Amino acid sequence: MKNKTLPIFLAFLAMGFGDVVGPMVGLAKDTFALSNFSAQLLTFSGFIMFGVLSIPMGVFQDKKGKKFVLQLGLGVAFIGLLVPILNGMYGPAVDLSAGSQSKFYTLLFAILLLGAGATILQVAGNPIMRDVSREGQYSANLSMGQSIKAVGSSLGFLLPPLVGVAFGMDWTMLFPIYAVLILITLIWVRLTPITEKREANAATASMGSCVKLLSNGYVLMMVLSIFLYVGAEVSMSSQVPILLKETFNLDQFGLWVSWALFFLPIFVGRLAGAFLLRKLPAVRFLLFTVGLSLVGILMLLLGSQMLAFAGIVLVGLGFANIFPLIFSITIDRMPQRSNELSGLMVMAIVGGAFLPPLTGFVADATSTLLGFLVPLGAILYIGIASLMQLKKA
């Protein structure tokens, strides 16, 4: 059983590569001299496919199986990474004087395909973890998987300064590095035998059955919570580096500082959650993490540098387990509809396409700091949903 979880955990690492759009917003903003709103089009490109592909993939997965769909997602992401590589966008610094606009469009298309691959991986990866988990360990293993995903997300913050300082290369070196890791994952998953569980009373999934599930008030609330959470997380990961640079004048190694303040706490929080959830009720833990997130964003908005840094750390710790908790609580309540629920909740990741541009718009209209009011509002809703869950528990 443990051996079968390893390639799935590696697939979660690959899922994290889709989050490269967060730190890439600041990098592209500088490289192509973009506004906050224009730079956030990268997040739109990276996350819009969650809204387009998730439900069809949930239905397709019901027919073809989770392992097949997992391999498909890895393949699509790999093709997306080949696009900038084949266009020479890796290694040396991007030449702004030679077709910078076309290079930006190439980047948008590559991120679109990478986002499509990440979408398919999320549809298959989250429920297939249940197939390789021991009884009662699904929430814990999903949190562990999400902590490994955070490692993949962290590479977008850690590698660009490293390849720049150590090797004199551009941040686009991320593309070949990601491509090699995804290819290794694809081969390992293909060679791993996995027995997929199917509930005896499970109905065949269809587009209609997925959409009909949204008429269930509980499902709608949880899907909307995922939508708002992902939008809030991507808003934070993309705006924190900009905040550090433009408000607190942290330019050099700003990505590393952003990672240390935000993604390192996410990684630590998810790792801790993987163990705490073996002992604590999932619903109560969800309420605690949401509360921690709210306190952190409020501290950030106070404007003091020290309070802002402490607030970002608290937000990272709070955000760490919100996604796996909402996902696993919903699946465990309705396991016979796991494929449809997986499609709906992964579709809700499209929140990462819509809330960050809204955050950028608010930041352009007011200030970078006030842009964080958007993720604050999103987390407030999830807090209300958590309280409703606690009353039903």
How much of the chain exceeds pLDDT 90, in percent?
39
Q: What is the mean pLDDT of residues 352-380?
A: 94
Q: Of 100-104, 278-282, 353-357, which range is least confident? A: 100-104
For residue 203, what pLDDT is reported? 64
For residue 158, what pLDDT is reported? 80
Chain-centroid distance, C-alpha 325:
14
The CATH number of 2-192+206-392 is: 1.20.1250.20
Q: What is the mean pLDDT of residues 164-181?
A: 80
Nearest residue to 25 via CA among 47, 49, 50: 47
Residue 25 — pLDDT band, cuts 50, 70, 90?
A: confident
Question: What is the model's pTM?
Answer: 0.78
- Provide the mean pLDDT of the chain: 86
For residue 153, what pLDDT is reported? 82
Distance, in Å, from the CA atom of 259 to the CA atom of 241, rounded to the nearest integer, reads 9
Half-sphere CA count of 166, side-chain side, radius 13 A: 8
Checking if the pLDDT of 99 tops 60, the result is no
Distance, in Å, from the CA atom of 50 to the CA atom of 123, rounded to the nearest integer, reads 9
**Structure tokens belonging to residue 323:** 């996604």
Residue 165 — pLDDT band, cuts 50, 70, 90?
A: low
Distance, in Å, from the CA atom of 305 to the CA atom of 33, rounded to the nearest integer, reads 26
Q: What is the mean pLDDT of residues 212-226?
A: 93
Q: H helices within 247-304, ranges in order?
A: 254-258, 264-276, 282-301
Checking if the pLDDT of 92 tops 80, the result is no
For residue 96, what pLDDT is reported? 44
Checking if the pLDDT of 97 tops 60, the result is no
Those residues with Cβ within 8 angstroms of residue 187's Cβ, 6 or more apart along the chain or in another chain = none
* Domains of the chain, residue spans: 2-192+206-392
Checking if the pLDDT of 368 tops 80, the result is yes
Distances (CA, A) of 276 to 287, 291, 385, 393: 14, 17, 22, 18
